[in-house]
Amino acid sequence: MKNLSIKNISLSVFAVAAMASCTTMSSSKVGSSQANISNTKWILSDNVKGKTPTLNIESGRVTGNGGCNNYFGELSLDATAGNFAVRNIGSTKMACDNMNVETNFFSTLNEVNKYVVSGNTLELYKGNLLLLKFNAN
C-alpha cells in the first residue's frame, strides 16, 4: 500500500511538472519579437454556430466579419514586442440567429494585447492567457 501511495504522489508531481513546462513553453513567445502580420487575413480556428469570424489586418486597422456583421477597428501593432491592440470596433447592424458568437468575439478582441505567429497560426493573448486562435485564410 505504501508503494502505491508513493507511485501516486510521484505521478502527480510528474504531471504537474509536465503541465507547468508546457505552459511555460507555449507562452514563452508571448511578448517577444514576432513576424509582421500587416496585410494578412485570418479565420477563427474554433468551430462556432453560423458564420466563422474573420480578421483582416491592414496598416493601422482591422476589418472582417464577426459571424454576422462586417466590422472595422483601429489597430496598434508592434512586431518587435509582439504587441497587438484593437480599439474602437464598429460594425454593421444586421440581426442574426446567433448574435452571442459575434458579441463574444468583439468583446474578446478588445481584451487582446499580445500576439504570437507560428507558421499559419495566429494566437491572440491577454498577457500570457490565450484568448483567440486563427488560421491563415
pLDDT at 1: 53
Residue 7 scores a pLDDT above 50: no
Sign for the pseudo-dihedral over CA of 119, 57, 116, 50: negative
Average pLDDT value for residue range 4-19: 36
Q: Please say if the pLDDT value at position 18 is more than 70.
A: no
Of 13, 130, 21, 124, the C-alpha closest to 64 is 124
**What's the pLDDT score for residue 8?**
40
Pick the CATH number of 31-136 from 1.20.120.450, 2.40.110.10, 3.90.550.10, 2.40.128.270: 2.40.128.270
pLDDT tens digits, residue range 45-67? 999 888 999 999 999 999 999 99
pTM value?
0.78
- Answer yes or no: is pLDDT of 17 > 50: no
Which are the contacts of 108, defined by CB distance < 8 A and separation ≥ 6? 131, 132
Domain ranges of the chain: 1-30, 31-136
pLDDT surpassing 70 at residue 74: yes
